[in-house]
A = this chain, B = another copy of it.
Amino acid sequence: MSGSKFESLEKSLENHLPEDELVEVKRILFGNSTKKLVLPECAVSGAYDRDFELQGHVFQCGSEQLRAPRRIRVGLVQNHTVMPTDAPVLDQIAAIHNRIAEIVEVAAMCDVNIVCFQETWTMPFAFCTREKEPWGQFAESLAKKYNMVIVSPILERDGLHDTLEGIGQEPEEPHPRVGDFNESTYYMEGNTGHKVFQTQFGKIAVNICFGRHHPLNWFMYSMNGAEIIFNPSATIGELSEPMWSVEARNAAIANHCYTCAINRVGTEHFKNEFTSGDGKKAHHDLGYFYGSSYVAAPDGSRSPGLSRTRDGLLVVELDLNLNRQISDKWGFKMTGRYAEYAEEMSKVVREDFLPNIVKE
């Protein structure tokens, strides 16, 4: 259950459903079908040799008379940590850097413009231990080599925020207080608002991990102009898997933008046992990280996910023009009653707020 035995929903459907029903099931579950993106042979063999999954998909988008297409490629990287968690810190960092470098190399072959790694990708997800050492020692920077925007969510030394090294800003995210996700033991919420980054490949934002549960967080990035919102995450099957396909996708639909949900893979074992506040015995791992990284589009469609079990690179070609096309079609931003919401919200947060309840 919620472990590594099941490869993926997509594979199971493809293996067992008759073709005509598969078409309907995919339409209902995934929306407008994505097309296969043909990737160069060197990338395919590179991924094979380096033992990671490589998928390529293209979202549909109409052409316009007055705007050229704004086609870009995003790359989502999901991976296991490489070394045991009690190996020397520098060895762990070096090993994960090597692993990511060989995946990014393939991303470059695939002409990826923006790549996003999983949350705190340079380290095991050690917040479950509540130990400050040696985890506080994981902090560094990434060399610039390709003409690629890199969203690189790492633990930042200065002030201990969960931050974005490639972009250099800690975001204003809510942090979890659930299960073994003890991030609040390590860093504080940011206070820089919902910044959006204008890159050469479009306006992007990063809604880190737990922020995906908060529709208002996605919304604020969208209001600030985000065309793609990345959600680098670390989350386990037992806790969140049935929500995974819902939340980032709902955000893409509601906000007329693309969203990219990235999760790590595997089980990470820690030397010192810890308890989880659930009455169960002390144990050595947080649970199974189920991968399943995917991209959602504003038209309600989504890409297939990477597997639940393997390292992977998901390359998705998308046209940023789709955002406005869907906004013009559905008009959520036109019809949203934002002035009313703003007024109601300002009342909600006041101490003397009285809920609007009608009694029988």
Q: Which residues of A contact B (CB under 8 A)?
A: 1-2, 6, 9, 12-13, 16-18, 21, 24-25, 27-32, 167, 169, 172, 174-178, 189, 193-200, 203, 210, 213-216, 218-220, 223-225, 240-247, 249-250, 253-254, 300-301, 329-332, 334-342, 344-346, 348-349, 355-360
Distance in angstroms between the alpha carbons of A177 and B338 in the assembled complex: 17
Interchain residue pairs with CB less than 8 A apart (17): A2-B27, A9-B25, A12-B21, A13-B13, A28-B244, A29-B245, A172-B337, A178-B331, A196-B357, A197-B360, A213-B253, A215-B215, A224-B355, A242-B301, A246-B300, A247-B250, A342-B342
Across-interface contacts of A336 in B (CB, < 8 A):
174, 214, 216
In contact, B349 and A342 (Cβ under 8 angstroms): yes
Distance in angstroms between the alpha carbons of A331 and B225 in the assembled complex: 28
Taking the closest CB of chain B, its distance from the CB of A240, in whole angstroms, is 7
- Nearest B-chain residue to A2, judged by Cβ: B27
Q: Copies of this chain, how many? A: 2
In contact, A172 and B340 (Cβ under 8 angstroms): yes
Distance in angstroms between the alpha carbons of A85 and B103 in the assembled complex: 60
In contact, A330 and B213 (Cβ under 8 angstroms): yes
Taking the closest CB of chain B, its distance from the CB of A11, in whole angstroms, is 9
In contact, B349 and A338 (Cβ under 8 angstroms): yes
- Nearest B-chain residue to A6, judged by Cβ: B24
